[in-house]
Amino acid sequence: MRITAKAWAKTNLHLGVGPAREDGFHELMTVFQTIDLSDTVTLTTHDEELVEQGSVVKQLSVTGARGVPEDASNLAWRAVDALVARCPEKLPLPAVSVHIQKGIPVAGGMAGGSADAAATLRAVDAWIGPFGEDTLLEVAAELGSDVPFCLLGGTMRGTGRGEVLVDMLTRGKLHWVVAAMAHGLSTPEVFRKHDELNPPSHMDISALSEALLSGNSHEVGQQLHNDLSGAAFSLRPELRSVIQEGMHAGAQAGIVSGSGPTTVFLCDNAQQAQDIKDALLDAGQVYAAYTATGPAASSAEQRGAHILTIEK
């Protein structure tokens, strides 16, 4: 059997970071939105090779990006193991191989690893499930703070460490330019720098909620905010000039996506997005740039991680 699933990249329209909790995580107030950059995960079963104990994953491979782990530290591998652990009565199970095709910038603050985990959960659910949405979300939260959102998609408010999710009403599509850097940033390192700088927390999203309902990109652009920007700028000072370049080219707003170093620029329309993308590439400060729209997908079935094909 071969099952292929897709999951979208995310950006944070708002990221407010509160104090660190006793468990080491920070209290967040964030607004997630999927954008139509995506990864695909293909799970292939090897029916001739049954596994009674230990991981059923025999191999994990990645194309489309360098530096992504191809061992048990990969979130997709861990997602397989986590769901299989929920149904020991199904063992022995065939060994599986997992292939990830990357289209989301790596270590860029766009939840590429979390998207892979979410797509893998959908694939395993199609293979040996159904587990039910509640179980999938529970396992997703165990895997990482962004995995539940990547599973569900759309535009959502996230609280707690980002895993407590509520749908938000939006109107229309937003046009984005995504600018990726050659080298990633470590999320824990960015949070450590944030704690060191200790900037004020911005936890009020009421104005952004109203702007999203209006469907007006100018109003949305005025409300984009990221408390981690200062930490990202401190670690990677060149990000300031990337944002300045995008704004000079005409973007409504430019912010660091999540923990960075990817930056995203809100544009009026598709043509302006293409022009700003070209300007950023011509300036030579970014490794790659893409145009995208959000929220991704036009149907409820495809708004989050979803199955593309099942071959038996």
- Within a 10 A sphere around the Cβ of 62, how many other Cβ atoms? 20
* C-beta of residue 11 within 8 angstroms of C-beta of residue 226: no
CA neighbours closer than 13 Å in the CB half-sphere of residue 131: 25
Return binding residues for ATP: 105-115
| C-alpha distance from residue 148 to each of 115, 145, 269 (Å) | 9, 7, 30
The first and second tokens of residue 179, run together, are: 């600018």
Binding residues, as ranges, are 105-115
Rounded CA separation 54/48 (Å): 17
Whole-angstrom Cα Rg for the chain: 19
Give the SS3 label for residue 8. Answer: strand
CA proximity to 152, closest of 173, 122, 191: 122
- The residues assigned a catalytic role are 10, 146
**Contacts for 250 with CB less than 8 Å, ≥ 6 apart:** 267, 272, 275, 276
Sign, CA torsion 82/87/93/99: negative
